[in-house]
Amino acid sequence: MSRDETRLPVAVVAGLHADARRAAVEEILRTVPGSVALHHDLSAATDGTVHRTVRDAGGPLGGGDAPLVNDCACCALREDLIPELERLAGGGSPRLAVVELWDSVEPEAMAAVIDAAGAPLELTGVATAVDPALLVPYLSNGDDLAEAGLAAAPADQRTVADTFARQLEYPAVIAVAEDGSAGEPADDGDRALLAQLTPGARVVPVGGDGLAAALLAGFDVAAAAARRHPASALLPQECDEHGVSTLVWRRDRPFHPERLYAALEDLACAAARSRGRFWLADRPDTLLAWDAAGGALSVEPAGPWLAALPDAAWDLVPAERRVAASLDWHPAHGDRCQHLTFTSPGLDRDGLLDVLDSCLLTDAEYAAGRDGWARLPHAFDHLLAPVT
């Protein structure tokens, strides 16, 4: 039997831009005869209800409610999603099942759940649907999801901006729906911002036949995770177009922890989106992840630098990580590096460079070596585990 006869292709469509997401799903249902869409509505999750609907191009086919699991709507979605997809696979074998995620649900977690389920399901594509005119408003929105009525659980502490950024950066397909619902149409600057934030993604307009084909092309969950992991992330490239700039800042020398800490607020607000990896002089073996959107910055440890691992451990590291390390390799520091990217309309590149460079160790501080670096103020102890 062919693959289509033995497995149900499953595509995921995510996005905080609900109108764009719905338009993308409707296009898929229209262009792939026999396809169905599965959607879990989490808007009433705070009242204990997660409502599931299944529909095709002609309208609703069925529905039901899923109970909350551990007071978590996303947990309920995970528990209900796979059995429902398996039921669809065994009851008529639609040509494609489209999982339309609710507004603030991020595609990475759901893609991993579907991929791990295995046969009879086959994850063939992941897309985030966007209206380019809404990029700047959403990336600058530092409100908690709860304030916007978009929290997926009572304890959900994510913000609109950081959730939207992760939705953009994970999938291999960006479905662009310019329907004018934003009030003002998208301009060249909006499209330049989208292009710079999504390197490597295939941008497909909603309104043609290309979206369905892109979502049936196949999806590699491990490669997608590597594109997001700080050690091997596919970061934006240097660019300046239509008033939107991306600054790629790469240096070998470590940060002075106290000077960097003092500059965090300015750096977090310097761009609509910034991300990357960096190292502090007092924590030379820890790879640190930089993730900022909406004026809020997250700094988290992301494991050891490859150069800090014993040689025997290298074979256990994903190939993407080893390739990324080889591109940054320094004769003295190995893969330890500063690799940060800042993308924004109206970016103050010169001012940003001055601030970043001023946070590095001076020549005298650098010459003190690791013993001297260990005596520097541990300014990040309350954000990270204390240096031992």
The pLDDT value given to residue 317: 87
The pLDDT value given to residue 318: 87
**305 located within any domain:** yes
2 falls in which pLDDT band (50, 70, 90)? very low
The pLDDT value given to residue 46: 65
- Say what percent of the chain tops pLDDT 90: 77
221 falls in which pLDDT band (50, 70, 90)? very high
The pLDDT value given to residue 142: 94
Q: What does the pLDDT look like over 251-303, one tens digit per residue?
A: 999 999 999 999 999 999 999 999 999 999 999 999 999 999 999 999 999 99
Do 203 and 111 share a domain, yes or no? Answer: yes
Do 119 and 251 share a domain, yes or no? Answer: no
The mean-pLDDT minimum among 62-66, 246-250, 254-258, 371-375 falls in 62-66
**116 located within any domain:** yes
The answer on pLDDT for 359 being more than 60 is yes
Do 70 and 124 share a domain, yes or no? Answer: yes
**337 located within any domain:** yes
Mean pLDDT over 311-318 rounds to 88
Q: How many domains in the chain?
A: 2
Do 271 and 292 share a domain, yes or no? Answer: yes
Higher-confidence residue of 156 and 4: namely 156
**233 located within any domain:** no
**65 located within any domain:** yes
Do 94 and 204 share a domain, yes or no? Answer: yes
- Pairing label, strands 273-280, 338-345: antiparallel
The answer on pLDDT for 3 being more than 70 is no
The answer on pLDDT for 106 being more than 80 is yes
Do 27 and 155 share a domain, yes or no? Answer: yes
The pLDDT value given to residue 296: 93
Tell me how crowded residue 200 is: count the other CB atoms within 10 A of its CB. Answer: 10
Among 184, 199, 228, which residue terminates a domain? 228
Q: What CATH number is attached to the domain comprising 256?
A: 3.30.1220.10
**381 located within any domain:** no
**270 located within any domain:** yes
The mean-pLDDT minimum among 120-124, 137-141, 149-153 falls in 149-153
Do 331 and 355 share a domain, yes or no? Answer: yes
The answer on pLDDT for 173 being more than 80 is yes
The mean-pLDDT minimum among 20-29, 110-119, 148-157, 355-364 falls in 148-157
Do 186 and 287 share a domain, yes or no? Answer: no
384 falls in which pLDDT band (50, 70, 90)? very high
Mean pLDDT over 237-250 rounds to 97
Question: For the whole model, what pTM was predicted?
Answer: 0.93
Among 228, 263, 288, which residue terminates a domain? 228
Do 259 and 205 share a domain, yes or no? Answer: no
Higher-confidence residue of 304 and 68: namely 304
Mean pLDDT over 76-105 rounds to 89
Alpha-carbon torsion 324, 326, 327, 329, what sign? positive
Do 108 and 130 share a domain, yes or no? Answer: yes
The pLDDT value given to residue 152: 80
Mean pLDDT over 370-376 rounds to 96
The pLDDT value given to residue 158: 93
The average confidence (pLDDT) of the chain is 92
Among 175, 195, 228, which residue terminates a domain? 228
Do 257 and 216 share a domain, yes or no? Answer: no
Q: What does the pLDDT look like over 186-204, one tens digit per residue?
A: 999 999 999 999 998 999 9
The answer on pLDDT for 89 being more than 80 is yes
The mean-pLDDT minimum among 123-127, 167-171, 211-215, 326-330 falls in 326-330
Mean pLDDT over 99-116 rounds to 95
Tell me how crowded residue 333 is: count the other CB atoms within 10 A of its CB. Answer: 16
C-alpha 80: how far from chain center: 24
Do 162 and 307 share a domain, yes or no? Answer: no
The pLDDT value given to residue 101: 96
Q: What CATH number is attached to the domain comprising 103?
A: 3.40.50
Q: What residue type is assigned to position 313 of the chain? A: A
Q: What residue type is assigned to position 145 of the chain? A: L
Q: Which domain holds residue 189?
A: 3-228
**361 located within any domain:** yes
